[in-house]
């Protein structure tokens, strides 16, 4: 039986789900992710049977199939981590801005991270993966502040549509800057253009270990901000009345989200729409309470990106389609639906 109603960033009333329903959906998602993990390791240019997968996990590596599995395992882990990070950052940005259109890609934050990495690579000779990550986080933070400042201008403050338009315009401008930087640099152009699509191919455990502390810190900050996000959902005045330091709460939550999307962009490239689609779907399943929404978004986002990677390998076999393209096919129609639902108001 459902309990008290709350309000989503889109302004719609959502019924809170009882704990047993949330736990049921949590177990369902765990089961689906387990199936997707097996599919991710088994499916590709070469299909690998499940018994061979079990042998490889046990330490055997004397056959070609088992060698292929050892390449696919870090790719699977990276897809899980990247999907979780992007979904949580999207949920946090939606909560911070009370904007149903908020997503690191739509708001131009991913492209800010991309431009910082490309500029660092082209002009400052960045070579250490940690320097890529720091540059991406800095670029994401600057882009987030810029878009929020532009979207806050004019009457009504930072309305959802104004933020989306400011993010789209900023993202388009940053794409042009990235192109301008890499065109004269034939030595980096090919790798950067491939990275700009967004994907999890070529993953190694070395790269994963390098990005893991940043993802862990960002996720911890976001999860610790869950109660504050619940207060912010009631409006700034009500949150302040409840004893919340609104500016600090918004800043800390945003910092965690920026760390997640910046670090993910540094290692995978800009992957869009995961942070838009997943939080909306999770609210329908577990309700708007961020104490549940954020962990559930992490789990569902991990599954979505892993599924996109598997689909990309199936539909283009023996080649593959990067996950950034697959998520765009899923997310673009959903973005149009959300915009139409908002009735394109408050320009």
pLDDT digits (tens, 9 = 90+) for 254-299: 999 999 999 999 999 999 899 999 999 898 888 889 999 999 999 9
Residue 11 confidence (pLDDT) above 50: no
DSSP annotation string for 269-288: ----SHHHHHHHHHHHHH-S
Which top CATH class is 5-341?
A: mainly alpha
Residue 149 DSSP SS3: helix
Contacts of 149 (CB under 8 A, 6+ apart): none
pLDDT given at position 1: 41
Q: Cβ(305)–Cβ(272) under 8 Å? A: no
Residue 215 confidence (pLDDT) above 70: yes
On average, the pLDDT of the chain sits at: 85
Residue 12 confidence (pLDDT) above 80: no
DSSP letter at 60 equals -
Q: Read off φ and ψ for residue 5, nearest 5 degrees.
A: -85, 150
Of 24-33, 139-148, 160-169, minimum mean pLDDT range: 160-169
pLDDT given at position 39: 92
| Over residues 325-347, mean pLDDT | 72
- Highest mean pLDDT among 136-140, 147-151, 312-316 belongs to 136-140
253-88-221 Cα angle (round to 5): 35
Of 14-23, 171-180, 237-246, 330-339, minimum mean pLDDT range: 14-23
Locus of tokens 């929404």 = 293
For 74-128, the pLDDT digits (tens) are: 999 999 999 999 999 999 999 998 888 788 888 899 999 999 999 988 888 777 8
| Over residues 303-323, mean pLDDT | 90
Other CB atoms within 10 Å distance of the CB of residue 119: 17
Residue 207, token pair as written in the block: 């790269």
pLDDT given at position 13: 43
| Alpha helical stretches, state H, the chain | 19-42, 50-57, 64-97, 109-123, 129-151, 160-182, 186-197, 205-224, 226-232, 236-241, 246-268, 274-286, 290-315, 323-341
Using only C-alpha atoms, the chain has a radius of gyration, in whole angstroms, of 20
Question: Which region holds residue 17: left if phi is over 0, alpha if psi is between -120 and 50, else beta?
Answer: beta
Strand partners, 7: 13
269-34-331 Cα angle (round to 5): 40
Residue 5 confidence (pLDDT) above 60: no
- Highest mean pLDDT among 22-26, 173-177, 318-322 belongs to 173-177
pLDDT given at position 346: 40
pLDDT given at position 189: 77
Residue 6 DSSP SS3: strand
Long-range (24+ apart) CB contacts under 8 A made by 21-30 are: 21/286, 22/285, 22/286, 22/287, 22/292, 22/296, 25/285, 25/286, 25/296, 26/286, 26/296, 26/299, 29/296, 29/299, 29/300, 29/303, 30/299
pLDDT given at position 123: 85
pLDDT given at position 297: 95
For 31-58, the pLDDT digits (tens) are: 999 999 999 998 888 888 877 777 766 6
pLDDT given at position 121: 87
Residue 14 confidence (pLDDT) above 50: no
Of 102-111, 181-190, 315-324, 337-346, minimum mean pLDDT range: 337-346
What's the CA gap between 261 and 54, in Å, rounded? 33
* Top-confidence residue, 343 or 337: 337
Domain boundaries in the chain? 5-341
């Amino acid at each position: 039986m459902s309990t008290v109603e709350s309000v989503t960033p889109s302004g719609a009333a959502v019924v809170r789900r009882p704990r047993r329903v949330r736990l049921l959906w949590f177990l369902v998602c765990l089961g689906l992710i387990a199936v997707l993990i097996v599919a991710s390791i088994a499916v590709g240019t070469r299909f690998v049977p499940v018994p061979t997968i079990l042998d490889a996990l046990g330490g055997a590596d004397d056959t070609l199939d088992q060698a292929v599995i050892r390449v696919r395992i870090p790719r699977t882990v990276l897809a899980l981590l990247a999907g979780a990070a992007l979904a949580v950052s999207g949920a946090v940005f939606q909560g911070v801005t009370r904007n149903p259109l908020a997503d690191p890609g739509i708001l131009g934050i991913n492209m800010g991270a991309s431009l910082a990495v490309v500029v660092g690579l082209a002009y400052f000779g960045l070579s250490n993966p940690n320097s890529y990550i720091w540059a991406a986080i800095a670029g994401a933070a600057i882009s987030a502040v810029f878009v929020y400042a532009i979207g806050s201008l004019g009457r009504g403050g930072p309305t959802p549509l104004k933020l989306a338009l400011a993010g789209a315009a900023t993202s388009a401008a940053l794409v042009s800057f990235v192109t301008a930087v890499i065109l004269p640099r034939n030595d980096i152009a090919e790798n950067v253009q491939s990275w700009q699509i967004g994907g999890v191919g070529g993953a190694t455990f070395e790269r994963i270990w390098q990005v893991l502390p940043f993802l862990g810190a960002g996720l911890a900050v976001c999860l610790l901000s869950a109660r504050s996000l619940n207060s912010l959902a009631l409006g700034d005045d009500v949150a302040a009345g409840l004893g919340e330091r609104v500016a600090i709460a918004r800043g800390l939550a945003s910092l965690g989200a920026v760390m997640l999307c910046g670090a993910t962009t540094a290692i995978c490239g800009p992957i869009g729409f995961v942070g838009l689609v997943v939080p909306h779907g999770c609210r329908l399943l577990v309700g708007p309470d961020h104490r549940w929404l954020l962990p559930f978004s992490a789990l569902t986002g991990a599954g979505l990106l892993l599924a996109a990677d598997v689909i990309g390998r199936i539909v283009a076999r023996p080649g593959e389609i990067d996950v950034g393209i697959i998520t765009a096919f899923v997310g673009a129609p959903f973005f149009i639906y959300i915009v139409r639902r908002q009735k394109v108001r408050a320009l």
